[in-house]
């Protein structure tokens, strides 16, 4: 018989290296005389989209389009170190470094422009849609490229280098006190599953995932990160297990270490919660790892809701579920009261 159930999982996650480990990102920025800009940072985009986020941040500050920004990453000859692409840290930490660097280069540009436009303060200057000009006076503006080009002829360059260090202190080993991470990410997911009581096989039908990302700098990428994390979470919950025998992995192949295919991944509905993180770039914080955390609990809770057995070791394989169902029947009789049974 196939039985359905729903389960809830909630998670919070400290982002960044944490526990006092130096967590530093850096960036170089140059605004060019063709109206484009370059961002250089050691932060490597491994597909999560960090380079796109950096281009968006620089473009937003400079009144340009993301395609006007060249992002150079991961070149030890030219880019400043920004640590690893790990710990859910690039959008937040490297994003902050990029934002600081862009603002620094921009500040010099605005000071120069204020002088050129005979303004007393750079606060009256704006960068918008590839133009630089006096706020509220459309007659006093020029293409950004022209301004930078002229500045260049006078020996002015708009180049900057900045870094950003995450807030973290080691936890006191005696009393557990400290501030190991900042910021924290929060999420909640609901899973709907179908459990086959004959085979023990679980099919996850649907996941609704709500995640607080501070600010979604790129909503499409946020959805992509959540869906990817949910798929990994489903694998973690139901099928993935490294089998070790005397230190040797017995299943080092996709035929024996199963990961979800397109057929195993449920329908995923994402809810992006934007609760501004004031220390992040435009209020953003990381999402990569935390989005996987609630999936496990949601799936395992949904199995309990469906068939009344509590699986306490992962993955929740058909074997474990069938064994738990047999145990439950033996203890309480068929259709007996729902009880916690440790697998």
Partner 1 sequence: MNIELRVNEQDFRLVVEPDERLLDVLRNRLGLIGTKEGCGEGECGACTILMDGKAVNSCLVLAAQAVGHELMTIEGVGDRLHPHPLQKSFVELGAVQCGFCTPGMILSAKALLDRNSQPSEEEIKEAMSGNLCRCTGYDKIVKAVQRAAEEVAR
Using DSSP bridges, classify how beta strands 202-212 and 267-273 pair: parallel, antiparallel or unpaired: parallel
> Are residues 91 and 57 in contact, defined by beta-carbon separation less than 8 angstroms?
no
> Are residues 15 and 180 in contact, defined by beta-carbon separation less than 8 angstroms?
no
C-alpha radius of gyration, the chain, whole number = 26
CB of 47 to partner 1, least distance (A): 3
**The tokens 């996650």 sit on which residue?**
13
Report in angstroms the alpha-carbon separations of 257 from 245, 251, 254, 300, 318.
14, 6, 5, 20, 15
* Integer Cα distance of 186 and 205 in angstroms: 23
Nearer to partner 1, 121 or 255 (CB): 255
Ordered DSSP codes for 82-151: ---S-TT-IIIIIHHHHHHHHHHHHHHHHHHHHHHTT-S-GGGEEEETTEEEETT-TTSEEEHHHHHHHH
User: Does the active-site annotation cover 274?
Assistant: no
CB of 225 to partner 1, least distance (A): 8
Nearer to partner 1, 223 or 327 (CB): 223
Looking at 246, 289, 327, 334, which residue is catalytic? Answer: 289
> Are residues 114 and 141 in contact, defined by beta-carbon separation less than 8 angstroms?
no
Contacts to partner 1 by CB under 8 A: 46-49, 220-221, 223-224, 226-232, 253-255, 259-263, 265, 268
Nearer to partner 1, 110 or 216 (CB): 216
Nearer to partner 1, 25 or 50 (CB): 50
CB of 174 to partner 1, least distance (A): 40
> Are residues 63 and 131 in contact, defined by beta-carbon separation less than 8 angstroms?
yes
CB of 257 to partner 1, least distance (A): 10
**The tokens 């006096």 sit on which residue?**
134
CB of 200 to partner 1, least distance (A): 21
Nearer to partner 1, 220 or 312 (CB): 220
Would you please indicate which residues are annotated as catalytic (active-site) residues?
289
């Amino acid at each position: 018989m196939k039985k359905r159930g729903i389960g809830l999982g909630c998670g919070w996650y400290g982002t960044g290296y944490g526990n006092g480990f130096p967590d530093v990102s850096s960036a170089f920025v140059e605004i060019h005389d063709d109206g484009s800009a370059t961002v250089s940072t050691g932060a490597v985009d491994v597909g999560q989209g960090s380079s796109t986020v950096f281009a968006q941040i620089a473009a937003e500050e400079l009144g340009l389009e993301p395609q006007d920004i060249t992002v150079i990453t991961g070149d030890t000859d030219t880019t400043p170190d920004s640590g690893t692409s790990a710990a859910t840290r690039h959008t937040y930490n490297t994003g902050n470094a990029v934002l600081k660097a862009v603002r620094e280069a921009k500040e010099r540009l605005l000071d120069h422009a204020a002088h050129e436009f005979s303004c007393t303060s750079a606060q009256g200057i704006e960068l918008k849609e590839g133009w630089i000009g006096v706020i509220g006076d459309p007659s006093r503006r020029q293409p950004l490229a022209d301004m930078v080009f002229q500045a260049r002829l006078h020996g002015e360059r708009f180049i900057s280098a900045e870094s950003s260090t995450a807030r973290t202190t080691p936890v006191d080993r005696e009393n557990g006190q400290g501030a190991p991470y900042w910021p924290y990410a929060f999420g909640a997911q609901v899973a709907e599953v179908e459990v086959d009581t004959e085979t023990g096989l679980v099919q996850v039908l649907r996941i609704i995932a709500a995640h607080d990302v501070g600010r979604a700098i790129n909503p499409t990428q946020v959805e992509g990160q959540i869906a990817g994390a949910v798929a990994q979470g489903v694998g973690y919950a139901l099928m993935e297990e490294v089998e070790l025998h005397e230190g040797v992995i017995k299943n080092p192949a996709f035929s024996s270490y199963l990961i979800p295919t397109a057929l195993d991944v449920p329908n995923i509905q994402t809810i992006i919660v934007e609760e501004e993180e004031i220390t992040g770039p435009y209020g953003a914080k990381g999402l990569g790892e935390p989005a996987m955390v609630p999936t496990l609990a949601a799936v395992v809770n949904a199995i309990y809701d469906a068939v009344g057995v509590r699986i306490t070791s992962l993955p929740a394989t058909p074997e474990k579920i069938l064994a738990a169902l047999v145990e439950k029947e033996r203890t309480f009789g068929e259709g007996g009261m729902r009880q916690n049974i440790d697998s």
